[in-house]
């Protein structure tokens, strides 16, 4: 049986996943794109070493920053794990805020084993110019992506250039019914509370040495490797001379904006039940586990 814990950043997804996994003797599969990188620790708020060792966990800390790892790679790795642990009758728990990875693993996403091209984010190219290029290559996708959502525009362009097919065609081929039945909960929090959590978490990252972690990584890798595009790392790299207070404010803002995009994606792409109370979400998951166990 498969369970999915999604939702917005700083909502408590990991805590819920590990609590649930311990109660049902399950395994956890990471679905957070930046928790793949073993050298990103402070800024990703990934589970601690002790937590990761408390239950069987997969696809955490499995990459170096300069490793190439596509959604296709994740899809294949996740499905191998599903096949193995369904055979062993173990509950499988996906947890993370990268909804596209969850969709690719559990739905009929027809991806190819090709590396995505390097789409460099050239700041001299305007959002409107990039969006116009996408409209020329994949008009349907361009209608669904706001010109100012630069990251999604670049991702759609990468798909066209890597797979010689349109992102919209891939989306249209994805059946609304999953390949693997699953139970899903999504976590959120009231706006003011979530903002406080994000600000507190950002402050703790700086207290724990986020700036030093970023500088240490920059000494080993070029600035535009995929892993260093994570929120927190990117802002420090782009503003090396700014104060901690400025950077914490900027990172908190970007994190709130990311939470809003996550909320939209999970609401539009999944049928999961939303909770703001982790205990209520855990109770629901345990009830569903007991129902499916029969």
196 and 168 belong to one structural domain: no
130 and 169 belong to one structural domain: yes
For the entire predicted model, the pTM comes to 0.84
Q: Give residue 197's domain range.
A: 192-255
| pLDDT for position 173 | 53
- Identify the bridge partners of residue 237 per DSSP, sorted by sequence position: none
Q: Give the CATH number, domain containing residue 149.
A: 1.10.20.140
| pLDDT for position 161 | 72
Residue 77 lies in a domain: no
169 and 196 belong to one structural domain: no
Q: For residue range 93-111, what is the model confidence (pLDDT) as tens digits?
A: 999 999 999 999 999 887 6
Number of domains into which the chain is organized: 2
| pLDDT for position 156 | 80
Residue 76 lies in a domain: no
Contact of 45 with 225, CB cutoff 8 Å:
no
Residue 81 lies in a domain: no
Pick 14 or 131 by higher pLDDT: 14
Mean pLDDT of the chain: 90
| pLDDT for position 281 | 98
pLDDT band, residue 165 (cuts 50/70/90):
low
Residue 132 lies in a domain: yes
| pLDDT for position 175 | 55
200 and 237 belong to one structural domain: yes
| pLDDT for position 94 | 98
Residue 56 lies in a domain: no
202 and 250 belong to one structural domain: yes
- Between CA 276 and CA 292 the distance in angstroms is 24
Q: Give the CATH number, domain containing residue 235.
A: 1.10.287
Residue 94, CA distances (Å) to 28, 97, 114, 272 in order = 6, 10, 25, 13
Residue 129 lies in a domain: yes
Residue 46 lies in a domain: no
Residue 42, CA distances (Å) to 47, 202, 213, 253, 256 in order = 10, 10, 7, 18, 18
Residue 50 lies in a domain: no
């Amino acid at each position: 049986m498969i369970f999915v814990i999604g939702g917005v950043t700083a909502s408590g997804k990991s805590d819920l996943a590990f609590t649930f996994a311990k109660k049902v003797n399950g395994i956890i599969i990471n679905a957070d794109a930046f928790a793949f990188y073993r050298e990103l620790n402070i800024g990703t708020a990934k589970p601690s070493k002790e937590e990761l060792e408390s239950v069987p966990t997969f696809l955490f800390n499995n990459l170096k920053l300069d490793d190439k790892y596509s959604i296709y790679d994740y899809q294949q790795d996740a499905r191998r794990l599903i096949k193995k642990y369904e055979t062993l009758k173990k509950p499988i728990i996906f947890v993370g805020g990268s909804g596209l990875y969850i969709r690719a693993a559990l739905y009929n996403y027809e991806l190819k084993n090709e590396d995505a091209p390097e789409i460099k984010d050239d700041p001299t190219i305007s959002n409107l110019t990039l969006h116009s290029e996408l409209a020329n290559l994949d008009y349907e996708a361009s209608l669904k992506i706001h010109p100012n959502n630069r990251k999604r525009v670049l991702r759609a362009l990468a798909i066209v250039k890597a797979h010689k097919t349109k992102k919209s065609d891939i989306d249209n081929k994805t059946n609304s019914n999953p390949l693997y039945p699953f139970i899903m909960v999504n976590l959120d929090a009231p706006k003011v509370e979530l903002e406080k959590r994000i600000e507190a978490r950002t402050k703790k990252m700086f207290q724990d040495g986020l700036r030093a972690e970023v500088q240490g990584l920059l000494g080993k890798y070029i600035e535009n490797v995929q892993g260093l595009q994570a929120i927190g790392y990117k802002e420090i790299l782009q503003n090396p001379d700014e104060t901690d207070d400025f950077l914490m404010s900027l990172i908190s803002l970007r994190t709130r904006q990311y939470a809003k995009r996550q909320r939209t994606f999970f609401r539009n792409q999944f049928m999961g039940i939303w909770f703001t109370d982790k205990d209520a979400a855990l109770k629901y998951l345990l009830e569903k586990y007991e129902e499916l166990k029969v």
